Amino acid sequence: ELIRKGIPHHFRAIVWQLLCNATDMPVKNQYSELLKMSSPCEKLIRRDIARTYPEHDFFKGQDSLGQEVLFNVMK
């Protein structure tokens, strides 16, 4: 019965990562190194992130998780 319904929604992301060996990708280490680097545009990015989706709960509040995640991608 479970096989016909597929992988439960809350496990799908984990299963896909395991099936495609995403945890062993060298890009993951490279991303960690890039996060440690600074960018000359960090002040501008932080200023603009506060304006991005101001009504969305994920991005509300200075230094919220959403703003931090978006900053890491943008810098």
> Regarding predicted confidence, which is higher, 4 or 58?
58
DSSP letter (8 states) at residue 54: T
Closest CA to 49 of 34, 38, 32, 65: 65
> What is Dmax (Cα atoms) for the chain?
55
Between helices 42-49 and 65-74, what is the axis angle to 10°?
A: 140
Q: Where are the domains of the chain?
A: 1-27, 38-75
Is 50 strand, coil or helix?
Answer: coil
Report pLDDT digits (tens) over 34-53.
999 999 999 999 999 888 88
Is 28 strand, coil or helix?
Answer: helix
Asked whether residue 23 carries a pLDDT value surpassing 80, the answer given is no
Asked whether residue 24 carries a pLDDT value surpassing 70, the answer given is yes
pTM: 0.61
